[in-house]
Amino acid sequence: MADELERVIATNLEGLERRIAAACARVGRERGEVTLVAVSKTRSIAEIMAAYSAGIRHLGENRVEEAEEKVPALRESFAADPITWHMIGHVQSRKASRAVEFCDIIHSVDSLHLAARLDRFAAELGKQMPILLEVNVSGEASKYGFVASEPAARADLIRQVGQLAGFAHLRVEGLMTMAPIVADSEQARPVFRALRQLRAELRDRAPLSSWAELSMGMTDDFEVAIEEGATMVRIGRAIFGPATY
């Protein structure tokens, strides 16, 4: 059973890698410019081990509770060639300490209040915490993130970003967004393009960071995201198959 699981995931990953490489080639990018984050939420230890055997070294969790179970359970197995654990889901303020403890990078910093909490706990652990700012560029009311869907909101975002310079134990590395669920991946392109354009604006007006990372794109739209400049894509179903709950 374990051998079959490894075979299926390895086959899925081979196909996914071809698609990532093709998307990069279409816009003159190198494959190495894009980090594949395998979304391991709800996935079993066996599935994660199979993905690791197939070459995955970046795992993304949506819930702090799952991370604090999986990270210690797998630490010894991955000791020789460690995994980078990404927190890609919404982090509640009361769970900030555990997110800092169990994750290596947090994609979903969506407020100054959360940033302050993360900075405090990172200081207590003597840790520099890499973070991405989650930004709502689509204007959807259901989305988390700093609002940046209109000029006034972007101006406020730039003001808030300036305050992040005061958090000595956070290292802002870029931006993240969640695109709307759409029938055609091309419909997500304006959202990804808007995030890339926002990054260019932040580089000019808020240079506290290189703003190197753009975390955007999932199983249904990652190719468009890569064409628009994604440096991290968060993919679960195309690697593991349909989610199980």
Q: Quick: pLDDT tens for 180-198.
A: 888 899 999 999 999 999 9
Tell me the one-letter amino acid at 19. R
Note whether residue 179 is domain-resident.
Answer: yes
Residue 245 forms part of a structural domain: no
The percent of residues in the chain predicted with pLDDT above 70, rounded, is 99
23/238 Cα distance (integer angstroms): 15
Which whole-number Å values give the CA distances from 65 to 41, 48, 95, 98, 123, in the listed order? Answer: 10, 16, 9, 8, 22
Distance CA 206, CA 199 (A): 10
Domain extent for 143: 2-240
Whether 215 contacts 230, CB under 8 Å:
yes
pTM: 0.95
The pLDDT tens digits of the residues spanning 49-105 come to 999 999 999 999 999 999 999 999 999 999 999 999 999 999 999 999 999 999 999
Residue 56 included in any domain: yes
How confident is the model at residue 141, as a pLDDT?
73
CA angle 41, 127, 121 (to 5 degrees): 75
Q: Quick one: average pLDDT of 96-120?
A: 97
Q: How many C-beta atoms lie closer than 10 Å to residue 84's C-beta?
A: 14
The span from the CA of 114 to the CA of 218, in Å, is: 24
Q: Round to whole Å and give the CA distance between 194 and 68.
A: 34
Least trusted range by pLDDT, from 92-96, 108-112, 132-136, 156-160? 156-160
Burial of 134 (0-12, 13-18, 19+ CB in 10 A): buried
With contact defined as beta carbons under 8 Å apart, do 13 and 51 qualify? yes
Q: Report yes or no on 130 lying in a domain.
A: yes
Residue 25 belongs to a domain: yes
**Total structural domains in the chain?**
1
User: Considering the domain boundaries, does residue 73 fall inside one?
Assistant: yes
d(CA 230, CA 47): 26
Asked whether residue 142 is assigned to any structural domain, the reply reads: yes
What tokens appear for 69 in the block?
């179970």
Structure token digits, residue 38: 């395998």
- Determine whether 31 is exposed, middle or buried from the number of CB atoms within 10 Å of its CB (0-12, 13-18, 19+): middle
Q: How many residues does the chain have?
A: 245
Q: How much is the average pLDDT of 198-217?
A: 94
Q: What is the rounded distance in angstroms from the CA atom of residue 60 to the CA atom of residue 41?
A: 7
pLDDT at 245 over 80: no
CATH of the domain at 132: 3.20.20.10
Angstrom distance (rounded) from CA 192 to CA 61: 22
